[in-house]
Amino acid sequence: MLDIKNITITMMISFIIVVAIGPVFLPMLRRFKFGQTVRDDGPQSHLAKNGTPTMGGIMFIVAIFITALFRGRFDSDMMVGLICMLGFGLVGFLDDFIKIKMKRSLGLRAWQKIAFQIAISFYVAFYQYTSAADASQIMIPFTEMTIDIGILYIPIMMFIIIGTVNAVNLTDGLDGLASGVTVIVSLFFMLFAYMVAGNSDVGLLSAATAGACIGFLCFNSYPAKVFMGDTGSMALGGAVVSFAVLTNSVLLIPIVGIIYFAEALSVIIQVTYFRKTGKRIFKMAPLHHHFEQCGWPETRVVFVFWAVTVVMCWIGVFAAF
């Protein structure tokens, strides 16, 4: 049952926390010189963003955590969803910190990232597999059927969790893109959690995430005053994928999260094709940079990607309901 009052209050609290701490937190980022370094081989229009404060994802991570603390029941599902978000957010934070303060451009080493991500994804997958009797019964979109993947559930979910988190991370490349897309996706999972899965804890966590991202857009929409950094994008990836895992609806991610999926796929295609042929399919990857290189203004790319997400979430409604 959709609890409009509870959802509205949850979203408002999360939104207000972000808007309230922003004017305090942004000067702190500048003081500690947590500024973004834009790649020279990226779109030339982005060079003006050099020095813009990053790691702003801490703002909405704090808001989501505090909101969940006061609004949620903090039972197992709520706790696991928060751990997934905070765990991946911590990986992103370490990556950002090493890049910016320790001047190591690659951040965490590849094996370190993978090790952290495997540990967090195993925890979430194992929890769901052992605590939910129907966990291995994955719903098939557009049908009333489910598929039982049995013991393969854990490795398959680990792959999906890590893949989704990194896809959201790749989506964060334009002002307001990842945060805006995640608002829409979170609202979808909020409806799904309440009306289909009957999981009010995931519903509240989704609502808190949507509210926090709307608040963050006050600072992150074009022209951005702050970037979320890997801290924020990986935390959002952890949040979104936890909504899907905890409601047994991971096959909805490629539909409602089509932008995440397309961004990751564009990178995979570009790298694979270039290694085999020495040529590029896209002018630049991830996909949002390809459209920029085609002459689209940054704001147009973001608006179109938001619009595509809205349309796909409506399709997701038909797929799920």
| pLDDT above 70 (res 40) | no
Q: Is 294 among the domain residues?
A: no
**4 — pLDDT class (breaks 50, 70, 90):** confident
Residues in the chain: 321
CA angle 320, 237, 43 (to 5 degrees): 115
Full-model pTM: 0.94
Q: What pLDDT was estimated at residue 32?
A: 76
What tens digit of pLDDT does each residue of 173-212 get?
Answer: 999 999 999 999 999 999 999 999 899 999 999 999 999 9
Q: Is 164 among the domain residues?
A: yes
| pLDDT above 80 (res 73) | no
Chain-centre distance for alpha carbon 79: 18
| pLDDT above 70 (res 51) | no
Mean pLDDT, residues 34-63 taken together: 73
| pLDDT above 90 (res 42) | no
Binding site for Mg(2+), by residue number, is 169, 230
Residues 6+ apart with CB under 8 A from 262: 287
Mean pLDDT, residues 136-141 taken together: 91
Q: What pLDDT was estimated at residue 47?
A: 53
**% of the chain residues with pLDDT over 90:** 76
Q: Is 137 among the domain residues?
A: yes
Q: Is 288 among the domain residues?
A: no
145: exposed, middle or buried (Cβ count in 10 Å: 0-12, 13-18, 19+): exposed
- Phi, psi values for residue 50, rounded to 5°: -55, 130
Q: Is 75 among the domain residues?
A: yes
Q: Across the strands, what pairs with 148?
A: 137
Q: Is 280 among the domain residues?
A: no
Helix (H) or strand (E) holding 21, with range, is helix 4-31
Q: Across the strands, what pairs with 147?
A: 138
Number of domains in the chain: 1
Within a 10 A sphere around the Cβ of 73, how many other Cβ atoms?
12
Domain of 154, in residue numbers:
4-251
Q: Is 179 among the domain residues?
A: yes
What tens digit of pLDDT does each residue of 241-263 get?
Answer: 999 999 999 999 999 999 999 99
Mean pLDDT, residues 46-74 taken together: 83
Q: Is 293 among the domain residues?
A: no
Burial 227-246 (b: 16+ CB within 10 A, else e): bbbbbbbbbbbbbbbbbbbb
Question: Over the chain, what is the mean pLDDT?
Answer: 91
**% of the chain residues with pLDDT over 70:** 92
Binding site, by residue number, is 169, 230
- 8 A C-beta contact, residue 313 and residue 189: no
Per-position DSSP letters for 50-105, written without gaps between them: TT-B--THHHHHHHHHHHHHHHS---HHHHHHHHHHHHHHHHHHHHHHHHHHS--T
